[in-house]
Structures are given as structure tokens and as C-alpha cells.
Structure 1
């Protein structure tokens, strides 16, 4: 019975640690989202006026970053006659346009990925809190069952 109570107490402690880690993940995810959003906002990028979505909006979130990256690709391909950097001759002056478009697009996609990782961290944090809460409930039930069994044994 003492072993069951001790194990229940350990399970409660593990649950508490899991919940604290979940909170850390949530805070880290929110901080990352905010940092990426503010850094994008500081660049003062706006979604191209001819974009199919969010035209003229500031690039401050994953959707606007994705749309602008897609528009950069569209404009670069339009400028190069549909050819990518690798398809252009090394002496073609449009190669620099294709290269710049590719670099800008990759940079915006990096921010889209960072937003995704931030959201994933928040999700893992929420799940960790729920698992920790479940462990604490389970540990409490184990401790209470051990106490009830002990009191029944003493009464008999």
C-alpha cells in the first residue's frame, strides 16, 4: 500500500513536470510567432497588388508570406519568359532577376515554416498540459485508493 501511494505521488510529480513543460512550449511558440511576425512587419513588405489573395496587405503572417512568395515566383517567371534560374544561360542578364526572385521566395518560405513550427510548439504544449493533467488525476486516484485500502486493513 505504501508502494502504491509512493507511485501515485511520483505519477503526480511527473504530471506536474509535464504540465510545466507544456506551458514552456506554449510560451515559446507564442514568442516565436510574435518574433517572426514583427520581423516581417519591420521589412514593410506588402502583398503584390495583382495577387489572387490579400493584395496590398502587409506581410505579417504565414498566409500573406506564402501568397507573396508565390507572387514573386510568378513575377520572376514572367520576367524570364517562364525559365527558372537553372534553365537560363549563364550569360543571360535575366539570370540575376531569377536568382533574386528565388532568394526572396525562399526567405519568405522560411518564415512560413517558422510560423508552422511555432504553431506546432503551441499544439505540443496543449497536449502536454492535457497529458500532465491526466497523470495528476491518475496519481491522485492511486494515492486515494492506497489510503482507502490502508484504512480498511486497519479497521479489520
Structure 2
């Protein structure tokens, strides 16, 4: 049994469009990765600037300044625990409107929401970087499958049976 080679010749315009689409995918992927890195660095820098230190009673990273998604989740969890301890296990909605602890629990809720927002930002940045990698791979694949019109114009040597 011999291997057969089939060559599909695209019109120059279609080949050019396919290669241009591949190039756009590569450039778009690079842009997504750069943007994702910029967002990650910005959110991390802003979190670090707040100088939020994970307390000793947290489940991990005690004494570390919050600057990443895992740190932010751990800090949000310990804030929740501290708020529930202060309010005898009651959430903001469960506290009486006149309870003096309501403002403390509300602030804890706001802090947790801010930390969760940073976690979402990190997640979106990671998603964008992953999509960027896929765009690059698809673009490279498209350009590998569709030869350059200049290369396609070159004479092709006939295939020989092995």
C-alpha cells in the first residue's frame, strides 16, 4: 500500500484571506496575552498597595500581604469568620437594624465583595490569556495549512511512491 498525497489548490484570494485570518489570530492572541498580563499586574499591585496582611488565624499564608487570587480568597474567608464571631453567627441581613454591630458586619461584607472582585479580575485575566494562546495556536495552524501564494506558485515536484 502506498501513501497518496492530495494537494488542494485554493484560489490566491482565498488563500490570502485564510493566511490573513491566521495572522489576525496570532496578533489578537498576543494582544490578549499582553492585556491579561497588564490586568494581572495592575490588580496585584493595587492589592499589594492596600497592605492587607493575612492574620494568624487564617487557614494559610499567615502574615503574607494579599496580592493574588488565592490570598484574596483566604482573606475574604477570614473576614467572614471574624464578622460572624463578632455578631454571634448572624449575617448583616439577620442583625436588627438598631444593632451597633450591623455597621461592622456591613463593612466586612463590603471588604469581602472588594476582594471577590479582585479574584474575578484575576480569573478574567487568566481566561483572556488562555484564549490568547488558543488564538495563536489556531492562527499558526491556519497559516501552516494554507501555503503562502508565493510558495504555492513555485513548481511542485511530483510525489513518488515509496
Same fold flag (TM > 0.5)? yes
Q: Which has the higher helix share?
A: 1
Match of 1:58 in 2: 65
Give me the TM-score of the superposition, normalised by structure 1.
0.89
> Displacement, 1:5?
2.7
> Displacement, 1:9?
1.7
> Displacement, 1:128?
0.4
Structure 2 Cα separation of the partners of residues 145 and 102 of structure 1: 63
Structure 1 residue 47 and structure 2 residue 54: aligned? yes
Bigger relative contact order (CA 8 A; separation at least 6): 1
Backbone CA RMSD of aligned residues: 2.2
Write the mapping of 1:1-156 to structure 2, written as runs, cut at 5 A: 4-140=11-147, 148=155
Where do 4+ consecutive residues of structure 1 move more than 4 Å?
Answer: 141-149
Structure 1 Cα separation of the partners of residues 9 and 33 of structure 2: 36
> Displacement, 1:6?
2.4
Structure 2's unaligned 5+ residue stretches are 1-7
